[in-house]
Chain A
């Protein structure tokens, strides 16, 4: 067992975990944050994307102990005071959600993209979410959503 402390969605957790645990296991099994999904276990699909110290990571490729001292945002951390994050709102309005399993990771990847580049081109959006696989939507409505979110985020 190993003791770690990490901040998840603005809350500090000090926990003792098995050293074999991946970050995704810590989030889901220990903290109950089941919005983070596992789609492949090898960092290819992006369903387990979380934001760690400002960067998107595949939480299936990060060991739990490696997250010691880090600041993590999961999908549960985007809605603040009952208000959806602009990216969440845009995804809903653009019809970018189908089965939903890729969506937590996709929304976080989109947020991370827009935080760094508030005016991405279509190509930059495609590249920004290219680490996240979706089998339902063909991604085009996600481009629409990202452009909507760009406008919403500027308005805030």
Chain B
């Protein structure tokens, strides 16, 4: 028999290394020949979109577009250490470091522009499309390109460092502020459970993710879809068949991850509530997006068939076993 059910899962997730461990991101921003800007930073693009998001933050500060910035992030001899691309820490931690580096570079560009424009002060200087402009008399302006030519024998560069704030927890009571900031989310799903085969089909999903502020909504949605798919595998398919320390399902023909046929369209809602210590309020979401899905599926299975599944994955085989056991216990 096919039975339908709905379920919800919610979660919080503390980002960063945590527990008082020094969590430091560093970046450098430099005026390059031709007026381009180089951002040097050990931020790793693992597919999550860090490269694009980091450039967006730098471009915002410097009044540029993504096309005007080179991110140098591949060679340890050229870039400062920005910590690991993990712990959902790049947008917040490294985003802050890049923001600070670019703000510091902006101050240096203002100082140079003041000299070249014959001004008494940097007050009222703004950046606009690759130029330093005096806002109250916009005829006074000089391009980054001109500055790079005038100062070609001098490196115009600034650093930025951000250190996240957490405290070490008490070893006996666990009291402390182990992570900051936290990211929140909620997801509801509807499933159809076939009690004859043990197959669980997802029918529908609505997923709301807090991002503080979304640096790039499309990238964020891509993370939500990807997290959802990974959670779907976690909940329903993925089984390593570990026997005496040996992984029996050690290839894709046996370890089944979701295909396009297994995935469903997910209604994605981005919730913004800027975090005061974050770059433009943006918090990380890379890990949180996997978390509430599997619990929502489990709660929906219970709603459908009245059996609480306490062990993952809910493969057809495992579900049939649970259904048989529940029948025996009744």
A142, B225: Cα distance in complex, Å: 11
Known: A42-B253, A44-B251. A137 touches B261 (CB 8 A): no
Cβ of B49 under 8 Å from chain A: yes
Shortest A9–chain B CB gap in Å is 26
Cβ of B265 under 8 Å from chain A: yes
Q: By the criterion CB–CB under 8 Å, are B251 and A95 in contact? A: no
Contacts of A42 in B (CB 8 A): 251-253
Q: By the criterion CB–CB under 8 Å, are B222 and A126 in contact? A: no
> Sorted from nearest, which 5 A-B pairs have the closest CB atoms?
A99-B47, A138-B225, A138-B229, A44-B252, A98-B47
A99, B257: Cα distance in complex, Å: 17
Known: A98-B47, A98-B48, A140-B266. A40 touches B228 (CB 8 A): no
Cβ of A116 under 8 Å from chain B: no
Contacts of A133 in B (CB 8 A): 252, 257, 259
Cβ of B227 under 8 Å from chain A: yes
Cβ of A129 under 8 Å from chain B: yes
Shortest A137–chain B CB gap in Å is 5
Contacts of B218 in A (CB 8 A): 95, 141
Q: By the criterion CB–CB under 8 Å, are B251 and A98 in contact? A: no
Give the residue of B46, B225, B263 whose beta carbon is less than 8 angstroms from that of A126. Answer: B263
Interface size (B, Cβ < 8 Å)?
26
A141, B260: Cα distance in complex, Å: 11
A148, B137: Cα distance in complex, Å: 46
A136, B48: Cα distance in complex, Å: 8
Contacts of A140 in B (CB 8 A): 225, 263, 265-266
24 contacts between A and B (CB under 8 A): A40-B251, A40-B253, A44-B251, A44-B252, A126-B261, A126-B263, A129-B260, A130-B260, A131-B259, A132-B260, A133-B252, A136-B226, A137-B229, A138-B222, A138-B224, A138-B228, A139-B225, A139-B259, A139-B263, A140-B263, A141-B225, A142-B260, A143-B260, A143-B265
Contacts of A54 in B (CB 8 A): none
Give the residue of A134, A141, A143 whose beta carbon is less than 8 angstroms from that of B221. Answer: A141
Q: By the criterion CB–CB under 8 Å, are B261 and A138 in contact? A: no
Q: By the criterion CB–CB under 8 Å, are A40 and B252 in contact? A: yes
Cβ of A69 under 8 Å from chain B: no
Give the residue of B219, B258, B265, B266 whose beta carbon is less than 8 angstroms from that of A95. Answer: B219
Contacts of A134 in B (CB 8 A): 260
Q: By the criterion CB–CB under 8 Å, are A138 and B47 in contact? A: no
Shortest A94–chain B CB gap in Å is 8
B241-269 vs A, CB cutoff 8 Å, 1 = contact: the mask equals 00000000001110001111101011000
Cβ of A154 under 8 Å from chain B: no
A125, B260: Cα distance in complex, Å: 9
Shortest B293–chain A CB gap in Å is 10
Chain B residue with Cβ nearest A100: B47
Cβ of A45 under 8 Å from chain B: yes
A127, B229: Cα distance in complex, Å: 16
Give the residue of A96, A138, A139, A141 whose beta carbon is less than 8 angstroms from that of B227. Answer: A138
A140, B260: Cα distance in complex, Å: 8
Contacts of B227 in A (CB 8 A): 138
Contacts of B224 in A (CB 8 A): 138
Cβ of B319 under 8 Å from chain A: no
B25-50 vs A, CB cutoff 8 Å, 1 = contact: the mask equals 00000000000000000000011110
Known contacts A44-B253, A127-B260, A138-B227; 14 further A-B pairs (Cβ under 8 A): A42-B253, A100-B47, A130-B260, A130-B261, A133-B257, A136-B47, A137-B222, A137-B229, A138-B224, A139-B225, A140-B225, A140-B265, A141-B225, A143-B265
Shortest B219–chain A CB gap in Å is 7
Contacts of B257 in A (CB 8 A): 133, 135
Contacts of B225 in A (CB 8 A): 137-141
